[in-house]
């Protein structure tokens, strides 16, 4: 997503002085209403950083709430799972097709900045690409990538899934 002024790209370099601005040229980070599912730590682990989970395509933060959030919460981790723009309860459902990876990185940056300290970031599938891009400019105590997207992409797997389980795409 790029801002345009009079048909020309905005070339000003923005400083990362505020929570809603990216530091790269020609890019303004727009804050969106993001839903972050929170499961507080249920055990005492004072040195544990928060965990921030990033879902893959076709799902939402709810996918983490089945096993991961309860498991880590019981072990003293403050758990947060982000609904990327257009997913779950976050803003932008009608514009889902207009969001790209850079928008999702902005979402992750916005969610991470709302936490009391830098989180361990955990991504699944498409979420791993978001986490990798986030780490190009941000620092995290650790990152965990589950089922990362291969360099060749997921077209073959998506096509196979479409033919074997077409009902998956009917939602």
Secondary structure (3-state) at 98: helix
Q: Is the pLDDT of residue 94 over 50?
A: yes
Domains of the chain: total: 2
Q: What residue ranges in the chain does DSSP mark as E strands?
A: 4-5, 8-9, 36-39, 51-54, 79-82, 120-124, 143-146
Q: Which of 2-11, 54-63, 72-81, 110-119 has the lowest mean pLDDT?
A: 2-11
Predicted confidence at residue 92, as pLDDT, reads: 92
pTM for the model? 0.74
Whether residue 13 is found in the same domain as residue 47 = no
Whether residue 24 is found in the same domain as residue 37 = no
Contact 47, 78 (CB under 8 A): no
More confident residue, 153 or 37: 37
Domain that holds residue 20: 1-29
Predicted confidence at residue 131, as pLDDT, reads: 98
Q: Is the pLDDT of residue 37 over 50?
A: yes
Q: Which of 34-38, 126-130, 146-150 has the lowest mean pLDDT?
A: 146-150
Whether residue 80 is found in the same domain as residue 25 = no
Whose CA is closest to 31, among 121, 91, 86? 91
pLDDT band at 141 (very low <50, low <70, confident <90, very high): very high
Whether residue 21 is found in the same domain as residue 54 = no
Domain harbouring 161, CATH code: 3.40.50.1820
């Amino acid at each position: 997503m790029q801002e345009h002024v009079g048909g020309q790209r905005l070339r000003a370099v923005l400083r990362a002085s505020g929570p809603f601005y990216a530091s790269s040229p020609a890019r303004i980070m727009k804050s969106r209403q993001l839903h972050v599912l929170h499961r507080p730590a249920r055990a005492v682990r004072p040195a544990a950083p928060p965990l921030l989970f990033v879902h893959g395509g076709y799902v939402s933060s709810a996918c983490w709430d089945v096993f991961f959030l309860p498991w880590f919460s019981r072990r003293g981790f403050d758990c947060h799972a982000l609904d990327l723009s257009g997913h779950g309860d976050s803003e932008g459902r009608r514009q889902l097709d207009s969001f790209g990876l850079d928008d999702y990185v902005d979402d992750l940056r916005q969610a991470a900045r709302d936490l009391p300290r830098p989180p361990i970031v955990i991504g699944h599938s498409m979420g791993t690409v978001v986490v990798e891009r986030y780490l190009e400019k941000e620092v995290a105590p650790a990152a965990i990538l589950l089922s990362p997207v291969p360099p060749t992409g997921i077209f073959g797997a998506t096509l196979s899934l479409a033919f074997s389980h077409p009902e998956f795409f009917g939602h």
